[in-house]
Amino acid sequence: MSTIKVDTYLTRGGASEIAIDKLKGVTAAGSMLVVGEGGTNTTNLQQGLAKAWVFGSDAAALTKSFNIASGTDNGTGDYTYAITNDMDSANFAASATGAAGGRRYGIQLARTTGTFQVRYYDDNEALGDTANASKVHGDLA
């Protein structure tokens, strides 16, 4: 295999596209930094990505998802989702939003490395089933 090392890449045709299948940083963890909009601050690419997300009409009906194996309906407005590729610990952030028949808000409850639980409430603080969306940020195992 050949290695190409350059300091600057310039295109001849004016387009600034590079097609690749995988990016990996050169640090021990393969970490990559992305320069922010202002040109000076950076964001760690791995830390800035959602590690899992789900959208569904209820927990059992996953309309769209990423890294979610399944959902369990624990009762009215109470859902648990199984993460396909576990997190490295239970110390991750899961957020939840919902909308159906008025405002709904979600709160994240229990977490394990492989699951997270969310509950959805209406304006009257009552649990309610809702079309929902949840996302997870943290470190994968």
Compute the mean pLDDT over every residue in the chain, rounded to the nearest whole number.
83
Return the bridge partners of 103, or none: 99
Q: How many other C-beta atoms lie within 10 A of the C-beta of residue 47?
A: 12
Residues 118-127: tens digit of each pLDDT = 888 887 888 8
Q: Residue 13: pLDDT above 80?
A: no
What average pLDDT score do residues 70-90 get?
92
The residues, ordered by sequence, that sit 6+ positions from 133 with a Cβ below 8 Å of its Cβ are: 53, 54, 55, 96, 97, 98
The second-level CATH assignment, the architecture, of 50-137 is Sandwich (2.60)
The secondary structure of residue 28, as a DSSP letter, is T
Return the bridge partners of 52, or none: 136
As a whole number of angstroms, the distance between CA 16 and CA 107 comes to 42
Residue spans of the domains in the chain: they are 50-137
Residues 29-50: tens digit of each pLDDT = 777 888 878 888 887 777 778 8
More confident residue, 129 or 17: 129
Q: Residue 61: pLDDT above 80?
A: no
Q: What is the pLDDT of residue 37?
A: 82
Angle at 35 between CA 55 and CA 50, to 5 degrees: 15
Q: Where are the alpha helices (DSSP H) in the chain?
A: 45-48
One-character DSSP codes across 58-72: ETTEEEEEESEEEEE
